[in-house]
Structure 1
Amino acid sequence: MAKDRTASLIDRAPWVRVDDMPWKEISDGKEMVVRGGYRYLQVWKCVASSDRHCLLSGGAGHCGGTHADWFLPVLCEPEKQLVQIEDLVLASATGESVPVYVPNRGSGRAGRHMWVPADDCQRWRELVGEKTPLPVAPEPEEDDQITFAEQEIDRTCHAGEDGWFVSDARPIRDLGQPTGGYTLPQMPLQRPVKPSLITSVERAAASAALGCPPWELGLCAGCGQMMRRHGRHAGMYCAVCRSELNG
């Protein structure tokens, strides 16, 4: 747990950042809110009406695909509730929140360590495919070691004092930026009517694109396109086949 955005261990291990609260507020039981290091998975359809930019075009347009990325609670759509450090400690013990490492897109070494909801982690694994396990953080290289400047030990107690005591300026490591995300494969335009041929990745992509749970998916009785086949407001034929039948 760090209290500033320049902490050297940020993104070297699962971490969280909290406010630099005065000791009196901590002693009085004030809640410590997680400001960085905890993220939620967001999946969106890359169309003109989307509030998020395209991961492939760098925001210059919309590819029509489906993207997934990790965001801080305040950047989610809709905005997620902030996490308290006490709740995270409990959730990490019960397995409701888990640590993950996701490399930045286009960079083999750089990446993000973060805490995430276990359900979001499972969904991420389904999106990237069962044969593609979640990456493991790379081993640090010789030039990537944590260093320190030897100084005389300060034996003066600074409890209750305001201010940040540091010997040298360090770069900001907690930038709050997305990881670079993942673009789901496009759903096939047409396929044989054989449910056994639907892969887990295609099912996850269709579920995100159609906005329905995976168990409501099925194949159109006409063209074999994946559609919302089960549940309320479902049908046997997709919109294209219905228009052809009615025409």
Structure 2
Amino acid sequence: MRGLQRDPREFTKERIVETASRYGLGAEAEVPTANRRSISDALVTGPGGIRIGWEIQYHHLSPSSVHRRSVNAVQHDITPLWVAKDRTASLIDRAPWARVDDMPWKNIAGGKEMVIRGGYRYLQVWKCVPSSNRHCLLSDGAGHCGGVHSDWFVPALCEPEKRAVHLEDLVLESATRESVPVYVPNRGSGRAGRHMWVPSADCERWRELIGEEEPLPDFPVQEGDDEITFAEQEVDRTCRAGEEGWFVSDARPIRDLGQPTGGFTLARMPAQRSRNPMLITAVERAAASAALGCPPWELGPCSECGQLMRRYGRDAAMFCRVCRAVLNG
């Protein structure tokens, strides 16, 4: 007799609850909010009463439903965490989210690793000079502006490459605030942006760089549901089983592209004006420290141009790289 088909969503939910319990966290399945307008598939409670409402959504759900349920959770002091398995899922970037591989229920129940493929990022900060492997955010990749850039990247695109985050990692880190949700608006538009989970240390550094003391808003604007349109193309009847990617016959475009967010740029590496360190702002000092990879107390002025550089401590020098190159002719 053919075996019964089981729902991967149910086994993902069980795995989250079991993982949380193993870490000593509070965990329940199918928990309604106080007003019973929504139900968390798994509610994980961490130290200090931090509550993470896991929503396992492996099928299509309208954007308005994602927004409504997420806002309802936040109003009841629950941080929503939506899980998708499809790069076209409409919940992506409409609330804090994470994407895992599409896998059979037996693999989920059997403990096969569930890597977070999308929705988790690390902050990267770099000085825009010819020796940098990153391109300039201000000149469309051509030339180098000498400023300090920062942006959010998926683990595989970090330099050096960062560790992959697994489902079990996020269960623990979200409940202990080692990882936190962040919303980053697109450049030039406050009405759209990226939701992501990030290390809390990266979040703090990001706030220092942009001069924000409080978290950016999680749900800035309610979006309408996806429109259903007729493309006037013949239906693609080719079997696509086992193939990856997006095809003309697909109902929705890919939303999880893994691209950077657009980033933030400090106009240039700050010069130590009049040799007075008190004139350097906290944002400038944080940016210089992050870009140069040294603690703030090792910063000092280049003896030639006056820009902040790693002047003290190990691997310190009197001149920045640019001035050394000029002086060495």
> Out of 86, 90, 96, which is 2:178 matched to?
96
Deviation at 1:188, TM superposition (A): 3.8
Structure 2 residue aligned with 1:156: none
RMSD of the alignment, in Å?
3.0
Inter-partner Cα distance in structure 1 for 2:311 and 2:127: 20
Matched, 1:52 2:124: no
Residue of structure 2 equivalent to 1:28: 110
Is 1:113 aligned to 2:195, yes or no? yes
Letter matched to residue 206 of structure 2 = W
2:219 corresponds to 1:135: no
The structure showing larger relative contact order (alpha-carbon pairs under 8 Å, at least 6 residues apart) is: 1
**1:202-221 equivalent positions in 2, closer than 5 A:** 202-218=284-300
**One-letter code of the match for 1:178?**
P
Using the alignment, how far apart are the partners of 1:107 and 1:24 within structure 2? 43
Question: For this pair of structures, how many residues does the alignment match?
Answer: 222
Change beyond 3 A, Cα 1:194–1:130: farther
In structure 2, distance between residues paired with 1:93 and 1:219: 42
Q: How far has the Cα of 1:27 moved from its partner?
A: 1.4
Greater mean deviation of Cα atoms: 1-10 or 197-206: 197-206
Q: Per the alignment, in what secondary structure is the counterpart of residue 24 of structure 1? A: helix
Alignment of 1:134-153 (within 5 A): 134-136=215-217, 137-141=219-223, 144-145=224-225
1:7 to 78, 81, 89: 89
TM-score for the superposition, normalised by structure 1: 0.79
| Structure 1 residue 68 corresponds to structure 2 residue 164 | no
**Structure 1 pair 238–117 and aligned structure 2 pair: CA distance change class (3 A):** same
Shift of 1:8: 1.3
Contact (CA 8 Å) 1:66, 1:208: kept in 2 or not? no
**Residues 102 and 134 in structure 1, CA contact (< 8 A), matched pair in contact too:** no
**Farther-moved stretch of structure 1 (39-48 vs 214-223):** 214-223
83-92 or 106-115, larger mean C-alpha shift: 106-115
Cα distance change of structure 1 residues 54 and 225 upon mapping to structure 2, 3 Å threshold: closer
Residue aligning to 1:123 = 205
Give 5+ residue unaligned stretches, structure 2: 1-82, 229-241, 244-249, 325-329
How many Å separate the matches in 1 of 2:172 and 2:96?
Answer: 16
Residues of 1 paired with 2:279 and 2:133: CA distance?
A: 33
Provide the identity percentage: 74
Q: Partners in 1 of 2:154 and 2:193 — Cα distance?
A: 15
Gaps of 5+ in 1: 149-161, 243-247
Measured in 1, the distance between the counterparts of 2:289 and 2:88 equals 39
After TM superposition, what 4+ stretches of structure 1 lie above 4 angstroms from structure 2?
219-225, 237-242
Provide Cα deviations, 1:120-141, integer angstroms capped at 9, x if missing partner.
111111111246x543131215
Distance in 1 (alpha carbons) for counterparts of 2:109 and 2:91 = 26
Aligned counterparts of 1:75 and 1:96: Cα–Cα separation in 2: 21
Give the 3 Å change call, closer, same or farther, for CA 198–228 of structure 1 in structure 2.
same
Aligned equivalents of 1:138, 1:120: Cα separation in 2: 22
CA 1:241/1:112 → structure 2, altered by over 3 Å: closer, same or farther? closer
Contact 1:14 1:115 in 2 (8 A): yes
Q: CA deviation at 1:74?
A: 0.7
Q: 1:184 to 1:85 in 2, by over 3 A?
A: same
Question: Please, what TM-score do these two structures have when normalized by structure 2?
Answer: 0.60
In structure 2, how many angstroms separate the alpha carbons of the residues matched to 1:187 and 1:172? 37
Q: Residues 164-175 of structure 1 correspond to what in structure 2 (within 5 A)? A: 169-175=251-257
